[in-house]
Amino acid sequence: MSASAILFYILGALILTFGILTVFTRKIFRAAVYLLLSLIGIAGIYILMDMQFVAALQIVIYVGGIVVLIIFSIFLTHQAGERLPSRLPKHLLWAVSMASVGLGLTIWTLYNYSYTPAGIAPIEHSVKNIGRQLLSYDKFGYVFPFEVVSVLLLAAMIGSIVIAMKKKQETPSNSPNSGEKKILN
């Protein structure tokens, strides 16, 4: 067993442990911290697979952005040290049965399928190659999804601002109809 294989199994065990803790812990802030550690472990697996760019993206966006956003929203909506309530046993039974049956089916399929590599000479998964193909408009270029996703990000940004914006309190001097509405209501 080489060093990278041992590292892979250690990282996998860490990811699964922190994933289990994320799902089962009763304190919401601890769940967020366990999620953070699990995401860092996944970045380690990307580095083991020679995908340094994806690992950097994982650290920057997931760990630096998404988890921090989740922690902020936890602070906005929760009292510190509150324990989360658990669901009804009926829901828990559904969740356990769905997860276990799905996991069993998936692992059975994974073991019974034979994977055949394409067998073509590999290219380097460097940032240079990724950037060239991502922004090329030739046959296998990805410039169109790139632009679409930028529009999606803009739409999500505007949408989340509009949704989370506080509505202004209507004052009678600003809106002439509000007095009438009060009488009618």
Partner 1 sequence: MEQVPLSHVLILSSILFFLGIYGFFSRRNMITMLMSVELILNSININFVAFNKYLYPHQLEGVFFTLFIITIAAAEVSLAIAIVINLYRRFNTIDIEDTNTMKF
Residue 182 tokens, joined? 């009060």
Residue 129 or residue 177: which is nearer to partner 1 going by CB? 129
**Least distance between partner 1 and beta carbon 22 (Å):** 6
Distance CA 175, CA 136 (A): 53
Residue of 59, 128, 155 whose CA lies nearest to 147: 155
Out of 99, 147, 170, 172, point to the residue binding partner 1 (CB under 8 A). 99
Residue 87 or residue 181: which is nearer to partner 1 going by CB? 87
Kindly state the DSSP code that residue 83 receives in the 8-state scheme.
Answer: B
Tokens 């860490």 -> residue: 14
Our finding on whether 91 is near partner 1 (CB under 8 A) is yes
Residues 1-60 within binding reach of partner 1 (CB under 8 A): 1-2, 4-5, 8-9, 12, 15-16, 19-20, 22-23, 28, 31-32, 35, 38-39, 42, 45-46, 48-51, 53-54, 57-58
Distance CA 50, CA 169 (A): 55
Q: Which helix (H) or strand (E) holds 91?
A: helix 89-112
Compute the chain's Rg from CA coordinates: 24
x/- mask, partner 1, residues 53-82, rule CB under 8 A, reads xx--xx--xx--xx--xx--xx-xx-----
Using an 8 Å Cβ cutoff, are 34 and 21 in contact? yes
Out of 161, 173, 174, 182, point to the residue binding partner 1 (CB under 8 A). 161
Our finding on whether 163 is near partner 1 (CB under 8 A) is yes
**Least distance between partner 1 and beta carbon 168 (Å):** 14
Residues 101-130 within binding reach of partner 1 (CB under 8 A): 102-103, 106-107, 110-111, 115-118, 120-123, 125, 129-130
Residues 133-152 within binding reach of partner 1 (CB under 8 A): 133-134, 140, 142, 145, 149, 152
Size of residue set near partner 1 by CB under 8 A? 86
Distance CA 113, CA 36 (A): 33
List all residues 6 or more positions away from 38 whose beta carbon is below 8 Å from its beta carbon: 14, 15, 18, 19, 22
